[in-house]
Amino acid sequence: MRTLLLAVAAILLVTLLTLWRLTPADREIGEAPPPAYPPSADSIERGRQLVTLGDCRGCHTARGGAPFAGGYAIPTPFGTFVTPNITPDTTGIGSWSATDFWHALHSGYTKNGTLLYPTFPYTNFTKISRRDADAMYDYLRTIPPAAGPKRVQNLAFPYNHRLLLIAWRWLFFRPGVYEPDSTRSADWNRGAYLVQGLGHCSACHEARNALGAVQSKHNPAGGLVLNWYAPALTSPREAGLHEWRVPDILTLLKTGQIASASASAPHATTMGPMGEVVYGSLQYTRDDDLRAMAVYLKSLPDTGPRSGGLFRFTATAATLSSGHEIYDKHCAQCHGDNGEGRSPAAPPLAGNRAVTMSSAVNPVRIVLFGGYAPGTGGNPRPFGMPPYLLALGDEQIAAVLSFVRASWGNDAPRVSGDEVARNRGTPLF
């Protein structure tokens, strides 16, 4: 609490000191002559593909609501954000010019100059080129206008004061289009542009500090997002893809899973928020773009520890034996007596990094609430994992997961009943 108060006090101070800093220069970055109108069919189609890759629809559509009309609620540690309408309606961005739109993506403020919260991942979108932003604008003009809710943000004090964003931006945000690295291949640069910018992978996959900023470019830690743990893309023990072949990475991103382990890739299934990213966005992404992303992802610095034996923090024999019993009764029929899985119906749990990474949040959530891999063109009828919310208590789920994490060569810390209890109350992602 004290750290938080200190942080807030520091932010207030910096805010006062930097009030003058909302400079016109900040607004002019990337200014370009207005694009040609009416837009070409080619630009609209390119814009459609880009908007899909950015998953704009995923965040800007309420469940059951008109596409892009906003009203989707995003819970965060700072309060709940509700997304605005980005259809060409008067309650949306109907009166916005291409330059207004560019300012939102590139610099994070609205047509009338209101600063936007970085829950809208403009810290990534700032990398998008003006030409791509214009194509996205052209496409968004073609979708049916729909009325959206008024802007209501339900944030806790002091985060409800947008003025704080002046200081936040000063500390954590530098607008700037992606600069190609001339020492790298065209594919690598395309991949870096998409992963760092439009794909906003780091918005989930990197740890955030107490003020909600992504901590560092090379932070080995993954991040907690929407109650799930987004594993580090730089750690082979978590979600690192360094040793995977490019075609395997493409299969994972496009179909949402790798059902039978290949020489380079272990079994992997996308779930929760990552399932949504595959479902709404990556499955429709062009293969050449996915391939470029794969080339870049493979080249990320490898920061994670590799070998097992890191965790000395194991469960008691009693917990393990009760976990074993629960496993035989509830889990073995699908996941196999020795965690070997039943291809293609259920993934192996032995040697599965989704099970053994040090954070147990995702295994806890999938056992509590069950789930499916996303239904995609390449995997149209995914098998489901049943929810154990009602069948098993917190201590039982903790015991079975502690057993799974300590058996068949797996070596990960035990799971506590408290950790299960904490997740029980938050079923949404």
- What residues have CB less than 8 Å from 342, skipping those under 6 apart? 334, 335, 336
Residue 188 and residue 293: Cα distance in Å, rounded?
A: 7
Of 9 and 337, CB closest to ligand HEC: 337
121 binds ligand HEC (CB under 6 A): yes
Binding mask of the shown chain, residues 307 to 336, with x at each position contacting ligand HEC by CB under 6 A = -----------------------xx-xxx-
With 0-12 / 13-18 / 19 or more C-beta atoms within 10 angstroms meaning exposed / middle / buried, residue 28 is: exposed
User: Please, which residues have CB within 8 angstroms of residue 197's CB and are 6 or more apart in sequence?
Assistant: 124, 125, 126, 127, 128, 178
Nearer to ligand HEC, 314 or 387 (CB): 387
Query: What character string, x for contact with ligand HEC (CB under 6 A) and - otherwise, covers 207-226?
Result: ------------------x-
CB of 404 to ligand HEC, least distance (A): 6
Q: Which residue in 43, 99, 119, 255 binds ligand HEC (CB under 6 A)?
A: 119
Q: Which of 59, 69, 259, 415 binds ligand HEC (CB under 6 A)?
A: 59
Pick from 214, 292, 357, 385 the residue near ligand HEC by CB under 6 A: 385
For residue 375, give every residue at least 6 positions away whose Cβ sits within 8 Å of its Cβ, in sequence order, or none: 279, 381, 382
Binding ligand HEC (rule: CB under 6 A), the pick from 30, 339, 363, 413 is: 363
- Tell me the residue length of the chain: 429
Which residue, 33 or 90, is less far from ligand HEC as judged by CB?
90
Residues 241-260 that bind ligand HEC (CB under 6 A): 241
Among 129, 153, 264, 426, binds ligand HEC (CB under 6 A): 153
Amino acid occupying residue 263: A
Distance of alpha carbon 214 from alpha carbon 361, whole angstroms: 20
Closer by beta carbon to ligand HEC, 56 or else 295: 56
User: What gap in Å lies between CA 25 and CA 15, rounded to an integer?
Assistant: 18
The reply on whether position 368 binds ligand HEC by CB under 6 A is: no
> Binding segment for ligand HEC among 28-36, 50-58, 309-317, 410-418 (CB under 6 A)?
50-58
Residue count at the site for ligand HEC (CB under 6 A)? 72
Alpha-carbon distance of 351 to 234, in angstroms, equals: 19
Q: Is 342 exposed, middle or buried (0-12, 13-18, 19+ CB in 10 A)?
A: middle
Residue 42 C-beta: closest distance to ligand HEC, Å: 19
Contact 148, 87 (CB under 8 A): yes
Closer residue to ligand HEC (CB): 58 or 375:
58
Our finding on whether 11 is near ligand HEC (CB under 6 A) is: no
Residue 297 or 315 having the CB closest to ligand HEC = 297
- Return the residue of 39, 199, 304, 336 that touches ligand HEC, per CB under 6 A: 199
Question: Are the C-beta atoms of residues 208 and 222 closer than 8 Å to each other?
Answer: no
Nearer to ligand HEC, 14 or 149 (CB): 149
72 and 280 Cβ atoms separated by less than 8 Å: no
**Longest Cα–Cα distance in the chain:** 72
Tokens coding 185: 């291949």
Of 178, 371, 402, 412, the one binding ligand HEC by CB under 6 A: 371
Q: How far is the CB of 97 from ligand HEC (least distance, A)?
A: 12
Q: How far is the CB of 318 from ligand HEC (least distance, A)?
A: 18
Question: Where does this chain touch ligand HEC (CB under 6 A) — which range of 11-19, 227-235, 307-315, 414-422?
Answer: 227-235
Q: How far apart are CA 307 and CA 90, in angstroms?
A: 56
Residues 267 to 296: which contact ligand HEC by CB under 6 A?
A: 268-274, 277
- Residue for token pair 């080339």: 295
Calpha distance 72→69 (Å, rounded): 9
Looking at beta carbons only, is 3 or 144 nearer to ligand HEC? Answer: 144
Q: How far is the CB of 239 from ligand HEC (least distance, A)?
A: 4
388 part of the interface to ligand HEC, by CB under 6 A = yes
Residue 383 is encoded by which pair of tokens?
């098998």
Q: 225-250 in b/e burial notation, b at 16+ Cβ within 10 A?
A: bebbbbbbbbbbbbbbbeebebebbb
d(CA 167, CA 314): 44
Q: Which is nearer to ligand HEC, 161 or 181 (CB)?
A: 161
Short-list 282, 271, 407, CA closest to 332? 407
Residues 69-88 that bind ligand HEC (CB under 6 A): 74, 81, 83-84, 86
